[in-house]
Structure 1
Amino acid sequence: MTGAEPEAAELEVVEYTDPLCPWAWGSEPVFRQLRAALAPGARWRRVYSILFDTDDDPAPDPAAETAWYSRYVAEVAAHTGAPRAAELDRVARSSWPASLAARAAEAQGPLVAERVLRRLRESVFVLGRPADTEQRVLECVRGVPDLDTDRLAADAASAAVAGSVRADRAEARAPLPEVLDLDGPSPHPGRAKELDEGFRYALPTLIFRSPAGHRVVPGWRPAEAYAQAVLELRPGRPAAPARRPSEQVMDLHRSLAVRDLELLTLDGGVPTGALRVDTAGGPLWLHPDEAAGHPALAGDR
């Protein structure tokens, strides 16, 4: 047992998310900052909550639905400052393929899993082509450094991974009472989403649990809201993570938006050697190793 393990058991962070959710995409810079502040003394667990389910009714006019959703994503990006694709080719048909792949990637280690999830998010918000089929998932993640794509495909198709994501879906549809009638701040207060069969956590929602109790921070919130929740459960934590040179941050995350640079780096500067991808919501910067296989730059090779 390592020295960090007893401490790690004292705080759990549960993130209800979906690889294709625009609010979750926009929250990622703050979540990266929070994970760095809490590490290694917390367990962070993602719950893939299935934003786009297989039993959702098909749109009577797919083109009109895509135009509406494109405007919605633009509105979300205006609040979050996140990159967004200039054009979406369709609204995602299902969250299942991306969620299965994200869970399957965890078997290849935390760094690979983070890079796979990032690519899956970028499929919508950078490429405009949601990874909503098995083929699109594999096209999206091809070239992720250190990823075994054959193993990913096999694991994503396994009964074990399917059962794990089904359990995630069920957990997300059993929200705590405090989010059912929530009247929080706009633009995304985090009130539980009402569905035909009940409720689902708004995405993203973080739940912090410790022996002292729990705190729920749903929807779009500033970094201070997450820090306050942790401080109430564990006084003295989290200390703000040390900002690092942009090259070190890029080496870790491989894909950075402007907000990542602002929150995680010493000076907000662009890392040396990073390759720029322009989006309708501002630039995305890629590590050279990431860019070598990234579909956003496929036409440049």
Structure 2
Amino acid sequence: MTIELIEHTDPGCPWAYSASPALAVVRWRYGDQLDWRLVTIGLTESHEQYVKRGYTAAKSAKGQRRFERFGMPFAPQVKARPAATARMCRAIHAVRLQDPAREREAFRALQFAQFTTDLVMDLDDSLRTALSHVDGLDGEAVVAALDSPEVTEAYEADRAEARTAEGSPTHFQGKHATSDGPVRYTAPSLVFRSNGMQLEAGGFQPLEAYDVVIANLDPTLERRPVPEDPVEALAAFEYALTTAEVAAIMTPDLSVPDLVAIEGLLIDAVAEGRAARVQLGDDALWSVA
């Protein structure tokens, strides 16, 4: 038995990015017992929407500081201007059509470029640069397909689905938004479905919210325990992890992740030739050597 998990998200949202450690734990614990599907929100179609709301390059860079407490890598680069998120979302659909196995890694590559570089992420050259970090992906073909009928249809379908939150638990809890009219899900909003039941964890939520939803939907699932070795956590993912993600996976229930201690274990693993480290913003990505 699997649980369908619909993740309403957007690579340009810092809340979605900051939820990555909790989502990594969910993936670690339940693996392929969750049938995970990304729904791209498409927060903005034009950067002018952000300009009209008072966003500036400096304000966006300084705004990263409020999210650093969640542990994900940041680098408050002052970009030339704010960027709309629509083309990043379109890129995810283009990747899905070209090579669906790389969708999640492409999504993460776009997030990393958004929050740790000075790339303006609604420009095609920036998208090519970000996607070049996904091994085996034809970034040029992805960018060439951004405005194709197939990508446009898929993107618009996701936008419409993300704007069906009216009357939902997410709406009730005040985790919705109406920035472009309809009541929409905010990033990341997770919708869980199983055996005719649907439960939601709308907007940014702690790990415990996701875990209690899964436990109530299907307590027969296998729940993988905390690993003793960080390399075991790294090996379970098809992409590299941040320090905060590894720390979250290795933290027992009701305990606080110790990023310094986990980073020390990861450094030891690199010294032993079992792991590899790549600098990313003010942190790093770790993978099996």
Gap regions ≥5 residues in structure 1: 1-6, 184-190, 290-301
Tell me which of 72, 95, 113 is aligned to 2:85.
Answer: 95
Q: CA deviation at 1:283?
A: 1.0
Matched ranges for 1:172-191 at <5 A? 172-177=162-167, 178-182=169-173, 191=175
Quick one: structure 1 residues 77 and 111, their matched pair in 2 at CA, closer, same or farther if it must change by over 3 Å? farther
Partner of 1:31: 23
Within the candidate set 67, 85, 90, 2:58 is matched to: 67
Whether the 8 Å contact between 1:204 and 1:218 is mirrored in structure 2 is: yes
**Alpha-carbon separation, structure 2, partners of 1:143 and 1:278:** 12
Q: Provide closer, same or farther for how the CA distance between residues 144 and 85 of structure 1 changes in structure 2, counting only shifts above 3 A.
A: same
Structure 1 residue 246 and structure 2 residue 230: aligned? yes
- Which residue in the other structure is 2:201 paired with? 217
Instruction: After superposition, give the CA deviation of every residue in 1:143-196 in whole Å (9 maximum; x if it has no partner).
Output: 42111224323443321111111111111111152222425xxxxxxx211224
Task: Identify the match of residue 132 of structure 1 among 122, 147, 153.
Answer: 122
What letter is aligned with 2:276? A
Q: Please tell me whether the aligned partners of residues 255 and 284 of structure 1 are also in contact (alpha carbons under 8 angstroms).
A: no
Match of 1:122 in 2: 112
Determine helix, strand or coil for the equivalent of 1:145: coil
1:12 matched residue in structure 2? 4
Is contact 1:106–1:113 with CA below 8 Å preserved after alignment? yes
The residue type equivalent to 1:192 in the other structure is H
Letter in 1 for 2:143: A
- State whether residues 244 and 264 of structure 1, in contact with CA within 8 Å, keep that contact through their aligned partners in structure 2: no
Task: State yes or no: 1:275 paired with 2:267.
Answer: no
Partner of 2:285: 285
Counterpart in 2 of 1:234? Answer: 218
Task: Sort the Cα spacing of 1:61 and 1:89 in 2 relative to 1 into closer, same or farther, 3 A.
Answer: farther
TM-score, with structure 1 as normaliser: 0.79
Q: Is the 8 A contact 2:64 2:76 kept in 1?
A: no
Q: 2 CA distance for matches of 1:173 and 1:60?
A: 22
Name the counterpart of 1:106.
96
In the aligned structure 1, how far is the partner of 2:205 from the partner of 2:22?
A: 9
**Conserved? CA contact 1:193–1:199, under 8 Å:** yes
Structure 1 position 22 matched with structure 2 position 14? yes
What SS is found at the alignment partner of 2:227?
coil
Over 3 Å counting, the alpha-carbon distance change for 1:25 and 1:58 in structure 2 is closer
Shifted more, 259-268 versus 101-110: the winner is 259-268
Contact 1:12 1:210 in 2 (8 A): yes
Q: Please report the TM-score for the alignment, with normalisation by the length of structure 2.
A: 0.82
SS of residue matched to 1:132: coil
Give the paired residue count.
270
Deviation at 1:105, TM superposition (A): 1.4
Q: Secondary structure at the match of 2:49?
A: coil
> 1:211, 1:82 → 2: CA distance?
35
Quickly say closer, same or farther: Cα 1:130–1:21, change in 2 above 3 A: farther
Change (3 A) 1:241 1:46: farther
Q: CA deviation at 1:113?
A: 1.9
Structure 2: any 5+ residue segments left out of the alignment? 252-260
Deviations 1:70-129 (A, max 9, x none): 232211222x22111132314543212111111221235454222211110011111132
CA positional deviation for 1:257: 1.7
CA contact (8 A) 1:22 1:77 kept: no
Mapped to 2, the partners of 1:194 and 1:92 lie a distance apart of 20
